[in-house]
A and B are shown apart, each in its own frame.
Chain A
Amino acid sequence: EVQLLESGGGLVQPGGSLRLSCAASGFTFRSYCMSWVRQTPGKGLEWVSGISANGGSTYYADSVKGRFTISRDNSKNMLYLQVNSQRAEDTAVYYCAKGAGGIFSALNSWGQGTLVTVSS
């Protein structure tokens, strides 16, 4: 059974930083692209960042480009999102999600999410 478990969320001040982590199990992690998707409380879904299976290619939404960095450690089955220069509008639940296959694909497994609150 595929399991994705996010951690690292919390309260951060504007301009601050956090590192979100996602522990993956139940599948061959190194074979799949992964993404981060966020959801502002009470609002819709926003894709944030994606990374290829070997980590060689990374992708970002314009809203986070230059501030967020996605990475992965295939030896540890871990996905990360370094979030810097936090803004109030970055407050959201952040989900990690597994790609179904291929560089761009549907997201067929999701974690339960970790809440990031940006506030002074």
Chain B
Amino acid sequence: DMQMTQSPSTLSASVGDRVTITCRASQSISSWLAWYQQKPGKAPKLLIYKASSLESGVPSRFSGSGSGTEFTLTISSLQPDDFATYYCQQYNSLWTFGQGTKVEIK
């Protein structure tokens, strides 16, 4: 079974910080990886697809990179609206989510 592992599970940061979240796949998924942002009580929102493509309307401070088994989501300068939980998801074979990374205020 495909496993997606995110790190860290929780990240404490300040407004303006550069933030990086890592996602590792248990087997190669090429670039079939998406990143989502979820706020409490809300549905997830697609940020990045195909590892590095920015979804329409998503601020350019969000970027994704990687291929194969290792991927990163970077927020170049953390804004107050960015405190949320972030999930990676592979869609190379069915769909599998990582366990999530909560970005909290330091």
Number of A-B contacts (CB under 8 A): 60
Size class of the contact patch on chain B? 20 to 34
Q: Are A104 and B94 in contact (CB under 8 A)?
A: yes
In the complex, B52 has a CB within 8 A of chain A = no
Q: Once the chains are docked, how many angstroms separate the CA of A99 from the CA of B46?
A: 11
Q: Are B87 and A59 in contact (CB under 8 A)?
A: no
Task: Report chain A residues within 8 Å CB of B62.
Answer: none
Q: Are B93 and A104 in contact (CB under 8 A)?
A: yes
Which chain A residue has the least Cβ–Cβ distance from B44?
A110
Which chain A residue has the least Cβ–Cβ distance from B43?
A110
In the complex, B55 has a CB within 8 A of chain A = yes
Which chain A residue has the least Cβ–Cβ distance from B95?
A47
Task: Report chain A residues within 8 Å CB of B91.
Answer: 104-106
Which chain A residue has the least Cβ–Cβ distance from B48?
A106
Given A104-B91, A106-B91, A45 and B97 contact (CB-CB distance below 8 Å):
yes
Task: Render A104-120 as a binary contact track against B, CB cut-off 8 A, 1 for contact.
Answer: 11111011110000000
In angstroms, how far is the closest chain B Cβ from the Cβ of A3? 12
Cβ-defined partner of B49 (8 Å) among A47, A95, A108, A112: A108
Task: Report chain A residues within 8 Å CB of B46.
Answer: 100, 106-108
In the complex, A1 has a CB within 8 A of chain B = no
Which chain A residue has the least Cβ–Cβ distance from B53?
A106
Q: Once the chains are docked, how many angstroms separate the CA of A50 from the CA of B89?
A: 14
In the complex, B34 has a CB within 8 A of chain A = yes
Q: Once the chains are docked, how many angstroms separate the CA of A47 from the CA of B44?
A: 12
Beyond contacts A35-B95, A108-B49: 9 other A-B pairs, Cβ-Cβ < 8 A, are A44-B97, A46-B97, A47-B94, A59-B94, A61-B94, A95-B43, A95-B44, A107-B44, A108-B55
Chain B residues close to A by CB (< 8 Å): 1, 32, 34, 36, 38, 43-46, 49-50, 55, 87, 89, 91-100
- Please, could you name 8 A-B residue pairs with CB atoms under 8 Å apart, sorted by A? A44-B97, A45-B36, A47-B89, A47-B95, A104-B93, A106-B89, A107-B34, A111-B43
